Amino acid sequence: MRKPARASTRRLIAVDGIQAAAVIAEARAALGAPSRGGISKWDASGVFQELAVADETAGPASARTLLLLYAADLAFRLRWQIRPALAEGRTVVAAPYVDTAVAFGRAAGLTPAWLTNLFRFAPRATQRRFVHVTADAAAVDGFVGFSCDRVTDGKSARRRILRETAAQLRRLDRSRPARTQTTRSPSPPPPRR
CATH number of domain containing 177:
3.40.50.300
Domain range spanning residue 32? 11-184
User: 38 lies in a domain?
Assistant: yes
Instruction: Count the residues in the chain.
Output: 193
Residue 152, in any domain of the structure: yes
End-to-end CA distance of the chain: 49
**Would 3 be classed as within a structural domain?**
no
Q: Phi and psi for 15 in degrees, rounded to 5? A: -120, 120
- 3-state secondary structure (DSSP) of residue 179: coil
Q: Give how many domains the chain has, as a whole number.
A: 1
- What amino acid occupies position 48? F
Structure pTM? 0.85
| 99 closest CA partner among 133, 76, 69, 130 | 130
Beta strand segments in 1-144, E? 11-17, 37-41, 91-95, 127-132
Give pLDDT tens digits along the chain (193 positions).
455 544 456 899 999 999 999 999 999 999 987 677 899 999 999 999 999 888 777 778 899 999 999 999 999 999 999 999 999 999 999 999 999 999 999 999 999 999 999 999 999 999 999 999 876 655 668 899 899 888 877 788 888 999 999 999 999 999 865 444 545 444 444 444 3
